[in-house]
Amino acid sequence: MKQELSFESIRNNKEIQTYLEFTDAAFAQMGYKEHGQSHALYSAEIAEQILKYLGYTKREQELAKIAAYLHDIGNIISKHEHDQSSAVMFLNFVDNRDFDEEVYAVTSAIGCHEDKDTDPVSPIAAALVLGDKTDVRHERLRTESKINLDKHSRVIAACQKVDVVVDREEKTIALRLKIDTSICSVMDYFEIFMARTNYCRRASRVLGCNFELYINKDKFL
C-alpha cells in the first residue's frame, strides 16, 4: 500500500535524525556553523509559513516543509554537491513504486537548492530556498567569542535578530535583520551574502513577490 509522505514521519525517522546529527558533528569539527536539527527545522518552518501566507494549499505547504527539512542531509557524504546527494538520499526513503508528482516536487526542490544562478524550479523549491538562505541566525555560530572569527562567521555573529515577513497584498517577502555593527559592517554583510541575497530575490519572483531586505530598519532592497 502506498505510504503518504508526511512531515511527521520524516521528522520522527531515526535514520534521518542520525544523518542530521552526524552532519552537524562533522561540520562542528570543520569549524562550520550549525547544520543539524535547528537549521533543518528553521528552514522547514519558514518554507511552510511563506506558502501559507501566500495562499498555497496545505499539501504544498507540507511538501515544502519536508523538502526544507531534508535539504542538507547529503552533507553527510560531502559538502560538495550536497544538494544532489540530499535529493538522492530522499529518494532512497521512497519506494520506487510510490514515485509520483509529490515525490518529484520534493526531490527537484532539494536538488536545486544551491543553484544560485537559476530560478528555483517551483514554488515549493522557492520556499525551500527562502527558508534555507534566510537562516543567518547568530545562534548557528558555535563559539561565544567574537574575536578571531573569519568574515563569514563575523557576519553571522552580528545577526542578532532575523525575521521573514510576507505581505500577500503588497506581494513582498521581506528579510528584516538586526545587525550589531560593532561586530560587522553592513558592507561586510553584502560582501559575504550577495549570492544568497540574489537567490532570495529569484525565489521570491518565482512566488510572484519582490524580495526586500531591511537591515536595522533601513531598506536596502
Per DSSP, the three-state class of 208 is: coil
Strand-strand pairing, 210-215 and 172-179:
parallel
The answer to whether 212 contacts Fe ion (rule: CB under 5 A) is no
Closest CA to 132 of 66, 217, 207, 68: 68
Nearer to Fe ion, 38 or 172 (CB): 38
| 34 binding Fe ion? (CB under 5 A) | no
Work out which of 34, 48, 102, 132 binds Fe ion, going by CB under 5 A: 132
Applying CB under 5 A, the site for Fe ion has a residue count of 2
CB of 44 or CB of 166, closer to Fe ion: 44
Identify the CA nearest to 209 among candidates 55, 40, 45, 106. 55
Torsion of CA 83, 90, 17, 152, to 10 degrees: 10
Cell numbers describing residue 210: 519582490
By CB under 5 A, name the one of 24, 34, 60, 72 that touches Fe ion: 72
Question: Among all residues, whose Cβ is closest to Fe ion?
Answer: 132
Q: Which is nearer to Fe ion, 34 or 132 (CB)?
A: 132
Q: Which stretch binds Fe ion (CB under 5 A): 11-19, 71-79, 136-144, 211-219?
A: 71-79
d(CA 200, CA 117): 11
Nearest distance from C-beta of residue 156 to Fe ion, angstroms: 13
Backbone angles phi, psi at 98, to 5 degrees: -95, 5
Q: At closest approach, how far in Å is the CB of 4 from Fe ion?
A: 26
Cβ contact 98:107 at 8 Å: no
Cβ of residue 143: shortest distance to Fe ion, in angstroms? 20
Question: Cβ distance 130 to 152 under 8 Å?
Answer: no
d(CA 4, CA 115): 28
Nearer to Fe ion, 102 or 132 (CB): 132
Shortest reach from residue 97's CB to Fe ion, in Å: 29
Q: Which is nearer to Fe ion, 121 or 186 (CB)?
A: 121
Q: How far is the CB of 221 from Fe ion (least distance, A)?
A: 21
Contact range with Fe ion by CB under 5 A, out of 20-28, 70-78, 97-105, 177-185:
70-78
Q: In what order do the strands lie in the sheet with 172-179?
A: 159-167, 172-179, 210-215, 218-219
Q: Residues in the site for Fe ion, rule: CB under 5 A?
A: 72, 132
